[in-house]
Amino acid sequence: MNKTQSLSVLLTCFLIFAAAALLYRFRNDIGGYPYLNVAAILIMAVMAIAMLVTIVHIAMMCSQSYTKIEAALPSIEEGKQVIVFVPLTENTVRRLNFGSEISKIECDGRASILNLGPKREKSIVLKVTRKYGLCSQKTVNVGVDGSRKCAVLFNNQQAAQIEGPGLYCITKFNKNSEKLRSELQDDISMSIEYVETTHAGDLLVYYTYNRRQLTESSMSFLLNKNVEDKSHTASDGGDTITLYEVVLRGLLRSCPSSPTLIFPSDDCQDSEAWVNSGDGRLALSFLLHFSPASILGSADRLKDKTLVQKVRFFRDYIIEKDLNPNDDDLPVLGDKIKYKFFETHDKLSSYRNLENRFTTRGISFFRLLRDQVQGDDIVAGMLALAAHQFRDATEPETRSNMCLRNILNVEGKHDMTEEVRQLFGSGPDSLSGNDPYSIITFASYKLMGLGISPALKFLQPSLGPACTLRELVNGARKYVMDIYWSNIVVPDMALDGVNFGPIEDTCLCTGRDIEIDSSSDDVSLTSEIDVCCFGGCSMNPYSRMR
C-alpha cells in the first residue's frame, strides 16, 4: 500500500471501531440481540489490531531506508571493506527508480550464463526486488551492461579505474573475499559475472573460469571429435579419424598382438605381462573409462583394424576380472587426450596458428614463455630459432615469428635473435646464405659458445650430426608447439560462487551527473511482479534519493 491507501485503511478501521464501541455502549438499549456485546468486543479488537498494523506500516514508509544514488564510488577502507560493482547502462540508471530499499537480488536464468559467449551479444538479467512499507515489494528485471565487466574492488586504486554507472554492494573484508582476491590474481580466466543475495542478507558473488583439468564428460566430448589422420593408416583411406582412435592407437602402440603376452598366463608372469607395465595400466584405465561401445557404439567402427582385436582382448579381460575404472588416472588421461586433440586439430596443430591462449597455470601462453625464457637458455634459444624468417616475408608463420621475437625482446634476449640472423642470413659469416635447404653441421666452430648453443645441443640427437636449416627451424618450432599443446587448456567454462557475508550497504552509482527520472520504473522490464499484503502496490512508491 502507498501512503494514501494506508491512511484510507486507517480511517476505515477507526470508523468501524467507533461504530462497534457505540454498539457496545448502548447494548442494553438494543433488544433482541443477546450476543451483541460479544460481537462488538471482537470487532473492536480486530479493528484495533488493524489500526496498529497500519500505523506501523505508515511509520515504516516514512522512516524506511532507501537505496542511495551517488555520483561516484565511495572510499574503500582497504583490508576492512570490499565493494562489488555491477555495471548498468546509463539509460537504465536514468530511468530506474530505486526509491526504496533493495531486499533481494537474483539472477534470471543462471544456467544460460555459460552460453552468453565471449562477445556478450545478450546481457545477464538480474531480478531486483525492492521493499517498501511493512511487507510490500516490487520485482523488476534489470539487464547488466554487457559491454563492461563486473568487478570486485579491494582498494581505492581499483575503484578509480571503474567508469560508468552501476550498482555496488559494500561488504566487510573476510576470508572468502581474501581467497577470491588471490584467485583473481592467479587465474586470468576468472571473470565476475553477477551477484545475488540470500534470505539472510548475505552477498553471493558468482564468477566464471576455465577448468584447468578436463572433466570426464569433456574428455568423452573430445574423443568423439573427428580430427586429421596424420598417420594415414586408416583402412578406408579417409583423411579424418576420431580422436578416440588416435589416442587409443598411441596407448596400444607397444601392445603385443598375443593375449598370452598382454595378460598374465602360464607362459607370462604377472610382472612380465604388458598390462602391468606403465603403458599397459594406462591403456587398461583408458578402456575402462572410455570403452569403444560408449564412444563409437562398437569396436568395429575403428578404422584401424589392427586395433580391433587388441581391444577385444582387453574387453574380455575386463569382463573376466570384473574390473572397474579408477579415477586416479583421469588427470593423466586428460592430459594425453588434450595433447592429441591440439596436435591433430586443424586450427591448433600448426605453428602458424600460435595464439596467446589460457594455460593450466592460470596465465596466458605468452606469459608462460616469458617466465620460461628468464631462467632457461634452451627455451630462449628455441624461440630465437623458431622465429627465424626466411626470404619469403609473406610466409604464413610471420605473425607467430613476430610474437616470439617480441617475447625475446621484452626479456632482454634480443642478442639470440641477432645470432640466428647473422648465422643463417646472407652475411659473410653466415652458414647458409638464408637458404632453407642449406646443410649445417652441428660440429661447426661457428655454432660454439653462442647464446643459442644449448638449444642446438638439445636438438642435435633428433636431427643428427647435420641437417638443413629448414629442419633445424622446424625442430625448434616443434619444441615450442610441444610447450603449447602441453599447457593450453580446452575451453571448458565453469560457474561458481562465493559468499561475501552480510551486505553493509547497496547504492546506485551514476558515474557522472545524469538526470534521474523518478517518475517511471520502466527499465525495459521483461516482467514485473507485485507482492503486497494490503492491496495493490503503487507503481511509483515514495522516492528519497540521497
Q: Is residue 537 part of a domain?
A: no
* Residue 280 CB-density burial (10 A; 0-12 exposed, 13-18 middle, 19+ buried): buried
CA distance 284 to 276: 9
399 and 514 together in one domain: no
pLDDT at 98: 54
pLDDT for 537 beyond 80: no
Residue 342 lies in a domain: no
Rg (CA), the chain: 36
Q: Is the pLDDT of residue 267 over 90?
A: no
Query: DSSP per residue over 362-428, as a string?
Result: SSBHHHHHHHHHHH-HHHHHHHHHHT---S-TT-TTHHHHHHHHHHHHHTT-HHHHHHHHHHHSSST
Greater confidence, 153 or 391? 153
More confident residue, 67 or 209: 209
401, part of any domain: yes
CB 288 within 8 Å of CB 326 = yes
| Residue among 426, 458, 428 at smallest CA distance from 442 | 458
Please state, in angstroms and rounded to a whole number, the distance separating the CA atoms of residues 279 and 339.
17
- How far does the chain reach from its first CA to its final CA, in angstroms? 23
Is the pLDDT at 99 greater than 90? The verdict is no
In Å, how far from its chain's centre is CA 246?
29
Contacts of 427 (CB under 8 A, 6+ apart): none
Question: So what's the pLDDT on residue 516?
Answer: 44
Domain hosting 421: range is: 351-487
Taking a C-beta distance cutoff of 8 angstroms, is the pair 364, 188 a contact? yes
> Regarding predicted confidence, which is higher, 267 or 140?
140
Contact by Cβ (8 Å): 172, 499: no
pLDDT at 106 > cutoff 90: no
Residues 105, 191 within the same domain:
yes
Distance CA 148, CA 145 (A): 6
91 versus 259: which is more confidently predicted?
A: 259
Structural domain contains residue 346? no
Pair 140, 99: CB distance under 8 Å: no
- pLDDT value at position 60? 63
Q: What's the pLDDT score for residue 113?
A: 59
> pLDDT by residue (tens digit) across 224-244?
988 877 665 544 455 788 899
At residue 426's C-alpha, the angle toward residues 423 and 432, to 5°, is 55
Q: Has residue 8 got a pLDDT over 90?
A: no
On whether residue 181 sits in a domain, the answer given is yes
pLDDT tens, position by position, 436-492 = 788 888 888 778 888 999 999 999 999 999 998 889 999 999 999 999 988 888 877
Residue type present at position 390: F
pLDDT surpasses 50 at 148 = yes
- Is residue 164 in some structural domain? yes
Same-domain check for residues 264 and 308 = yes
| Residue 24's pLDDT band (cuts 50, 70, 90) | confident
Total domains, the chain: 4
Q: Are residues 72 and 207 in the same domain?
A: yes
**pLDDT at 263 exceeding the cut of 90:** no
pLDDT at residue 213 in the model? 81
The answer to whether residue 534 scores a pLDDT higher than 70 is: no
* Cβ pair 141, 126 in contact under 8 A: yes
Pick the more confident residue, 44 or 292.
292
pLDDT at res. 377? 92
Q: Does residue 33 share a domain with residue 119? A: no
User: Last residue of a domain, which of 470, 487, 504?
Assistant: 487
